[in-house]
Structure 1
């Protein structure tokens, strides 16, 4: 399992809030930046800016293009990402600390999911 993004990418992630049930991370980067692989638990991602990124995990890549002001579910995953757009990325992750319900099914997707 990859490490905590605050440890692997401290110049980009900061803890904005934390208690015993959730942790909120703020993330920023500039065009062309590529993060070091890291882990996200089940989270809700809230975009503060529009951005375009390419996420990489286990030999798979996906392009993500999101407007500002949307919320997306982000299932637990290890990945690295690169800002492939022309604007800075600014987003928040509300990480859940509760254990996910038991499941034998592996998610078939990478990146944020619109439900």
Structure 2
């Protein structure tokens, strides 16, 4: 997998990471473009309205999103270009592979 933090370090910033998720912030300006990179299954939160062309699998897709939307994104490899007149600003919550065991949350002290 081509890590966007490696391909586009000026556009992506790591906000948080643990063994279950990685949270990235993405910001660009009109005319900016990313290199080919990949994301695992992710949740994207748009912080501003923007318009981009996403290129994946030999296809170009025009994407226009409003601020404060939450979208599920299947794992994918793509590159993008800001074709609008506003900055792109988004948060990506990338999911890591499941550990296979369901954890039982503990709230407060154990009652044994």
Coarse TM-score class (shorter-chain normalised): 0.7 to 0.9
* Per-residue deviation, 1:75: 0.5
Q: TM-score, normalised by structure 1?
A: 0.83
* Per-residue deviation, 1:34: 1.1
* Per-residue deviation, 1:61: 1.0
Q: TM-score, normalised by structure 2?
A: 0.85
The separation in 1 between residues aligned to 2:46 and 2:97, in whole angstroms, is 23
2:25 is matched with 26
2:9 is matched with 10
Structure 1 vs Structure 2 CA RMSD: 0.8
Larger radius of gyration: 2
Runs of 5+ unmatched residues, structure 1: 100-115
Determine helix, strand or coil for the equivalent of 2:93: strand
* Alignment of structure 1 residues 1-115 onto 2, 5 Å: 1=1, 3-98=2-97
Runs of 5+ unmatched residues, structure 2: 99-112
* Per-residue deviation, 1:44: 0.2
Aligned residue pairs total: 98
The separation in 1 between residues aligned to 2:97 and 2:45, in whole angstroms, is 19
